[in-house]
Structure 1
Amino acid sequence: MTVATSEAESQRVGLVVSKAVGNAVVRNRTKRVLRHRMAALLPSLPDQTDVVVRANPAAGTAAASELRHDLDGLLSAAIKRRR
């Protein structure tokens, strides 16, 4: 997913969900939840930000609310570290 308003302002997000997460149905569900949450968080990211989200095997059994909560916490920690 790439959002670019101009050459100077762009944010990119990559999702990595391997077979270790689960079968195709589980992987697609995990990607859908992560993609939806990242789309909501994208406006709050600094300009020219690249984010790669790698789902670990536990993500396949996690509830959607748990994935969203974990992603929020990890992303806010990464933004704080960047500043």
Structure 2
Amino acid sequence: MLPSGHRMRRRDDFTLAVRRGRRAGRPTVVAHLLRRDETTPPLVGFIVSRAVGNAVVRNSVRRRLRHLVRADLDRLPAGSLLVVRANPPSGTARPDELAADLESALDRLLRPASKGRR
């Protein structure tokens, strides 16, 4: 379970991270990261739409993603906002496939931006 101090709850935070943050997409997940200069802990939110599957599948995907992100909380910069959006293939993806895609997306977001990109 994700610690309650790291859960994103406000709609404004979700919107800000998705619209202004950097994005890294993989087949099963898309991650949006907005770095802010604050001393608050990083906040993490999840978006799992109906396209992923029925309620049981969506909640299962959300639980698996929460478990995977918990291990990477220490890598996130303080004050950052991370939104993980599940794509439809995530409902049928194997756990190791989902973990690899999330890890790849986070690695891409956390490496320094190149000079030509924002």
Q: Specify the TM-score bucket, using the shorter chain as the normaliser.
A: 0.7 to 0.9
**TM-score normalised to structure 1 length:** 0.87
Note the alpha carbon deviations across 1:21-74, whole angstroms, 9 max, x for none.
001111011001100011110011111111000001011010111111100000
CA 1:73–1:37 in structure 2 vs 1: closer, same or farther (change >3 Å)?
same
Is residue 8 from structure 1 mapped to residue 31 from structure 2 by the alignment?
no
Distance in 1 between residues matched to 2:65 and 2:52, nearest whole Å? 13
- Partner residue, 1:56: 87
The list of structure 1 runs, each at least 4 consecutive aligned residues, that deviate by more than 2 angstroms after superposition, is none
Name whichever structure is richer in helix by fraction: 1
- 2:58 maps to a residue whose letter is R
**TM-score normalised to structure 2 length:** 0.62
Q: Report the identity percentage.
A: 45
- Partner residue, 2:107: 76
Distance in 1 between residues matched to 2:70 and 2:43, nearest whole Å? 11
SS of 2:71's equivalent in the other structure is helix
Aligned length: 80
Gaps of 5+ in 2: 7-37
- How big is the alpha-carbon RMSD for the aligned residues of Structure 1 and Structure 2? 1.7
